[in-house]
Amino acid sequence: MQPIRPAQEKPSTDTGTILRVIGGRPEGETIDEGFWGSPKRFKLPVTGSYLVDALLVVVLVLVLATLVGLAILWPQGKLRQTGQLGPIHTVGAVAERVDTVPCKLSASQICRVAHVRILDGPQKGHRTLLTTVAAVGSLDVSQGDRIRVYKNTVPAGTGQAGRRDDYSFADFDRRGAMLWLSLGFVVLLLVTGRFHGLRALVGLLASMLIVVKFVVPAILHGSSPLAVAIVGAFAVMLVMMPLSYGLGAKSLAAWLGTAASLLLAAGLAYAFAHLAHLSGASSDESVYLGASQSSLSLQGLLVAGMVIGALGVLVDLTVSQASTVIALRRVNPSLGFGGLFRGALEVGHDHIAATVATLVFAYAGAALPVLLIFSVGGTSFTDAVNGEAVADEVIAALVGSIGLIASMPITTALAALLAPRMSDRQLAAAEAHAHAH
C-alpha cells in the first residue's frame, strides 16, 4: 500500500516569490517565475500580480529613459583645451636634503633650498635644486619627502639675470598614502563581506567609472550639468544596486524609492539655486572652470554636485528600509501593508535622524574654513550664512536632507506592498542576503 504523501503547496497566482539560486548557491539571486512570470507562457498579470507588473513597467521606463539619456548626452570628440590654462605635466622627485637660507629677493623671508632627485621622466636620476619660501603648509618640503615637480621653461635670449631653478614645486606626492589606505579598505571589505563585499567593490568601481567616463566629460562638452547628473545617477543605480544587493523585491523597492527621492532633490536643488541667486562661482576651482570653459554653467554644475552628493546616502537609507520591511514580514508573516509600514517607519525614524545628521555635518565641515574666516573678520552670523560660499553648503545640506526624509516613507510603502507577495523561502533568502551585507 502506497503511503499517502502530503500535497505540496503551489505558489498562489496572487503572490510571487524571488528565489536566490545561481549555480545552486544560496548567495546568488535569480528571479522566481512566481514573482517575475513564467517564460513559457504569457498571461496577465505577467508576474501573478498587477501591482508588481505596474512597478516593473515603471522600472523599465526609467531604465529605457536612462539608456536614451546616455546615448544622447554621451560626449563625442576630443575636448578642446585652452593653451593658457592647459595642464601642467609633473614628474616625481624626492628631497634628499633641505637647506634654509635667506631669500635673495627679500631678506626678511626665509627660503628653503631642496636638493631633489628626479624619479621618473626623461631626466630620471638627474639631481637639481628647488627653491621654496618657508611656510607652514603645502610648501614646507622636508628631507625624504616625495614631491611632484614640473620643468621650468626659460625664454630664449634670457641672460644670467633671468636664470632660475630647472624645476618648480607642484605638490606633494600623495599617491602612496592613498594607495595604502585603499588597500586597507579593500582588504577589510573582502574579509568582512567576502563574496558580497567583492560584488559591492565591483559595483563601486563601475559607479566611479560612470562618473569619470560619462559625467565629467559630458559636462565639459557643454551638456546640461543637471541632466547629466540625473542620467549619471540613474546609471550608477542600475549598475551598483543589482551588483551589491541582487535582484528582487528589496532592490525593486529601493531602486524606485531612490529614483523618486533623487528627482525630488534635483528639482529642489534647481529651484532654490535660482531663488537664492547662487552663481556657483564661490570657489577657486569654479572660477578656474569658468575661465577655461566659457560655455560651462557654473550654477548648473553646483546643482549637479548636490544631486551626485545625495545619491550615496539615499541608496543607504532606501536599502535599509526595504530590508527592515522584509525582516518584519519574515518574523511575523501575518503582518499586512499597514503593520509592515508602521513597524518599518518606527525603525526608520532613528536611521533617518542619524543619516541626516551625517549629511549636515559633512556639508558643515566643507564650509568650516569659510566660517572661520568670517569669524576672524568679525562678520555677523547672519552675514556669514548669507555669503554664497556658506549658502551653497546650507542649501545642499537641506536639499539632501529633504530627499532623505521623503525617501523613507516612499521606500517603506513600496517594500510593504511587495513583501506580502514574497514566499517564506524567498523571505529567508532575502534576510540571509541582508545579514551577509
pLDDT at position 19 is 37
Structure letter (DSSP) for residue 98: E
pLDDT in tens, 393-428: 888 888 988 988 899 899 999 988 887 776 545 555
Contact call for residues 303 and 226 (beta carbons, < 8 A): yes
With cut-offs at 50, 70 and 90, classify the pLDDT of residue 386. Answer: confident
Q: Is the pLDDT of residue 214 over 70?
A: yes
- pLDDT at residue 176 is higher than 80: yes
**pLDDT value at position 39?**
53
Banded model confidence at residue 166, pLDDT cuts 50, 70, 90: confident
pLDDT of 34 higher than 70:
no
Contact 250, 323 (CB under 8 A): yes
Residue 6 confidence class, pLDDT cut points 50, 70, 90: very low
Question: What's the pLDDT at 157?
Answer: 57
Which residue would you say has higher pLDDT here, 88 or 167?
167
Q: How confident is the model at residue 266 (pLDDT cuts 50, 70, 90)?
A: very high
Q: Mean pLDDT for the chain? A: 77
Nearest of 42, 20, 18, 39 to residue 29 by alpha carbon: 20
**Is the pTM for the entire model greater than 0.85?**
no
pLDDT in tens, 218-236: 888 888 889 999 999 999 9
pLDDT of residue 234: 93
- Percent of the chain past pLDDT 90, that is, above it, reads 13
Query: Contact, 310 vs 399, CB < 8 A?
Result: yes
Under the banding of pLDDT at 50, 70 and 90, the label for residue 20 is very low
Closest C-alpha among 378, 381, 355 to residue 367: 381
Identify the pLDDT of residue 339.
86
The phi, psi pair for 132, rounded to 5°, reads -135, 155
Confidence of residue 296 (pLDDT cuts 50, 70, 90): confident
**What is the pLDDT, as a whole number, of residue 53?**
79
pLDDT given at position 164: 65
How far, in whole angstroms, is CA 425 from its chain's centroid? 34
Q: In what order do the strands lie in the sheet with 91-102?
A: 127-133, 110-118, 91-102, 146-151, 167-172
pLDDT at residue 151 is higher than 90:
no
| pLDDT score of 24 more than 60 | no
Residue 105, pLDDT score: 67
Range among 266-275, 320-329, 364-373 with highest mean pLDDT value: 266-275
Q: Average of pLDDT values for 78-107?
A: 73
- Residue 69's pLDDT is what? 92
pLDDT of amino acid 70: 92
Tens of pLDDT, residues 343-369: 888 888 877 777 777 777 777 777 777
Is residue 150 scored above 80 in pLDDT?
yes
- Per-residue pLDDT at 32 exceeds 80: no
Q: What is the pLDDT of residue 83?
A: 47
| Euclidean distance between CA atoms 85 and 82, whole angstroms | 6
Position 437 scores a pLDDT of 47
Least confident of 124-133, 142-151, 365-374: 365-374
Answer yes or no: is pLDDT of 159 > 80. no
User: In this structure, are residues 323 and 339 in contact, taking their beta carbons and an 8 Å threshold?
Assistant: no
CA distance 246 to 259: 17
pLDDT category, 128, cuts 50, 70, 90? confident
Question: Would you say residue 167 has pLDDT above 80?
Answer: yes
